[in-house]
Amino acid sequence: MALRVAVDAMGGDAAPAVVVEGALQALEAAPGRLEIQLYGPRSVVEAELAARQALGREGLRLVDAPDVIGMAESPAVAVKTKLRSSIHLGLQAVARGEADAFASAGNTGAIMAAALFILGRLPEVSRPSVVGFFPTTKGRCLVLDIGTNVDCKPEHLLQFARMGSIFVERVWHVERPVVGLLNVGEEPGKGNALTKAAYELLQAATDLNFRGNVEGRDLMHHAADVVVCDGFVGNVMLKLGESMVTAFVEMLRQEMQAQGLDAAQQRQVLGLLRGVLRRFDYEEYGGAPLLGVNGAVVIGHGSSSARAIARMIQAAAELVEQDVVRSIAAAFHPA
């Protein structure tokens, strides 16, 4: 049976064009495996489908959602007033069992607010979290929280560790993932009041493979599979990582010119660097799951290309295939 993914056709800076194109790419990559439900104003989305001769395409269904939530709109206002938006109706389809997952590159705050209102939190989960993916010398690691919750309590970091471990185990197929606490030193007792108290909780959690504190310099050397921190710190790290992609290329260009490298040499060096920096490219992942809500939700970057949208849809399907939501619920209510 095909997995049903509700997709916000109006989500993103270049929607609906790139969303429609990305949905078609996702269907092409997984023939018969997906049913994609495109939510948006019917006439607008139909025009994009017609331009690609994709009206009536097998595996693709258009659902009229006349209200549009802009990228810069107030989430609180949009959630209360635009009840027939693509975000609302797509999430409601998941809540009613008419879709298996929801994916959007739209207004992050509105998606989160609507998901909490429509799907609700999983029992015992107090702070759902959007995760971040960071490249390492041995692959990648998961960091949470990356901005969803800027003010946290120690028990929230414990919950992040549990949810992140389940995601890495189920989706990345890492057996008993290593958990680290982002801190200013490796030794126990380091850090502020939050990290000191969180350390004690993580150390006492027998269901976690907690290895202690992780310093920022060790994160990309794969000190842990799952790294937990409050959302303030996590968001600063995320934005720093995003800046590296463009800043390193510019710095290298300046240095190559100073060293007098010719055009052919510059192309070769830049090719190598871009190969490394590709690991930082959010399009490789497509979108980040919102863990802790009672449904499979993936949030993509606002500037997503069609390729990133296709990957976001695939990521949403993976959450369903690997039963991540139910596994998180079971971890908070062990038999």
> How far, in Å, CA of 103 to CA of 88, rounded?
12
Rounded mean pLDDT for each run of 10 residues along the chain, 335 residues in total: 93 93 94 93 94 88 92 82 93 97 93 94 93 90 92 96 96 96 92 96 96 93 96 91 80 87 86 76 79 96 90 95 94 73
DSSP class of residue 98 equals: S
Which amino acid is it at 135? Answer: P
Whole-number pLDDT of residue 314? 95
Whole-number pLDDT of residue 4? 96
> How far, in Å, CA of 111 to CA of 88, rounded?
8
The answer to whether 90 touches 296, Cβ cutoff 8 Å, is no
Whole-number pLDDT of residue 101? 98
- Residue 253: which residues within 8 A CB-CB, separation 6 or more? 266, 270
Order of strands, edge to edge, in the sheet holding 129-130? 60-64, 34-40, 3-8, 101-104, 296-300, 287-291, 129-130
Which amino acid is it at 248? Answer: F
Q: How big is the chain, counted in residues?
A: 335
- pTM, rounded to two decimals: 0.90
Q: Which two tokens stand for residue 138?
A: 């041995």
> How far, in Å, CA of 312 to CA of 34, rounded?
13
Whole-number pLDDT of residue 99? 97
Radius of gyration of the chain (CA): 21
